[in-house]
Structure 1
């Protein structure tokens, strides 16, 4: 007995359903994947990041939480990064909705046990196709550690890791630095 093939869902069908949905789902290559809830640590990290980034950026860039969908035109991914930052004019898939961002400069994912492997590998491979993307930031929710992929010359990416509450995360794409002590505020994790 063979398994029934999953029906192909078009991007237009996905967006129509997603805009009316009570929960978020990501879309890739004709399939829709439900997203799960997040832990206390995950939510604190996201809120700390948004507060820290927003207070430093001011009006020169926009910082969005995970309710802002991002579309990667080169490979068809629709997803919800934990934090998205766009500088300059925001570009959207559909100006009538302003709910699907096309040109983030920085994307942040908070890693959990269930998402870490995919966020570090397949998601990065998909995200790096965004022409405007300059930095992809991975914030560990199990220990005080942040990894960053930064776009370099000729399309290559540099990897750096910052650990411990005394470390500072440089974000040259945004012209600022974030102390890890601020990102991990109110969390008690090991370095």
Structure 2
């Protein structure tokens, strides 16, 4: 992500108005806007596969699944931000705005080398501030690994790397395997976590 304009800061209202006209998506954090870079084909495949699995599982119920182009708002005493999660679920009837969701229940981000530090740092801390968020899931794009945090166990880190490892999404009552997330973008048998991350707990 990179700053989109030199005349910062801007108000949230100015950001939202500009975003309706912009051909490029931007995220907003406390008066500053950041242009979102394009995603890889593998990122796109993982995102769509995950969203379709969730949408099918939740079909007929009150929950709705969204991908990439719908914003999540975080506004509290600490600050205000608007993000575009890769995949997320809301089950809140009050989330009736055409472009913004304020009560996501499950948030999923697909990580790349360029976004991992930001997604697991500043962005994670912001998501955890939303009272409605029950689970946050990170899917590595370049090797098979799922990283899950759950509010009910105080955001303890759970890491899954084996293809047949069960990953339980408590927030939506769904259990998948690691391989399920990568069904449309499988890895070769010899793919491994990069050597420089092997001894780091959270990558």
Q: CA deviation at 1:7?
A: 2.8
> How many aligned residue pairs are there?
181
The match for 1:67 is 69
After TM superposition, the structure 1 = structure 2 runs for residues 120-135 of structure 1, keeping only pairs within 5 Å, are 120-135=120-135
CA RMSD of aligned residues (A): 1.5
Deviation readout 1:30-58 (Å, 9 max, x if unpaired): 11100000001100110110111112121
Aligned residue runs from structure 1 range 138-149, under 5 A:
138-149=138-149
**Structure 2 gap ranges (5+):** 1-5, 193-203
Residue equivalent to 1:24: 25
* Distance in 2 (alpha carbons) for counterparts of 1:149 and 1:6: 37
What is the CA–CA distance in structure 2 between the aligned matches of 1:125 and 1:6, rounded to whole Å? 26
Shift of 1:166: 0.9
- 1:99 CA drift (Å): 0.5
Alpha-carbon offset, residue 6 of structure 1: 4.4
Q: CA offset at residue 90 of structure 1? A: 4.3
Would the aligned equivalents of 1:41 and 1:187 in 2 still touch at CA under 8 Å?
A: no
For residues 154-175 of structure 1, the C-alpha deviation after alignment (integer angstroms, 9 at most, x for no partner) is xx32211111211121001101
Kept in 2, the 8 Å contact 1:149–1:159? The answer is yes
- Aligned with 1:79 (options 70, 79, 83): 83
Separation in 2 of the partners of 1:183 and 1:152?
A: 23
Runs in 1 of length 4+ with deviation above 6 angstroms?
none
Q: Does 1:99 align with 2:85?
A: no
Secondary structure of 2:104's counterpart equals: coil
Kindly state the Cα deviation for residue 84 of structure 1 after the two structures are TM-superposed: 1.0
The alignment's TM-score, normalised by the length of structure 1, stands at 0.89
CA deviation string 1:112-143 (max 9, x = no partner): 01000111111111110111000000000011
Distance change >3 Å, CA 20–CA 42, structure 1 → 2: same
Question: With structure 2 as the length reference, what TM-score do the two structures score?
Answer: 0.84
Contact 2:92 2:103 in 1 (8 A): no
Quick one: distance in 2 between partners of 1:166 and 1:179? 5
| Match of residue 182 from structure 2 | 184
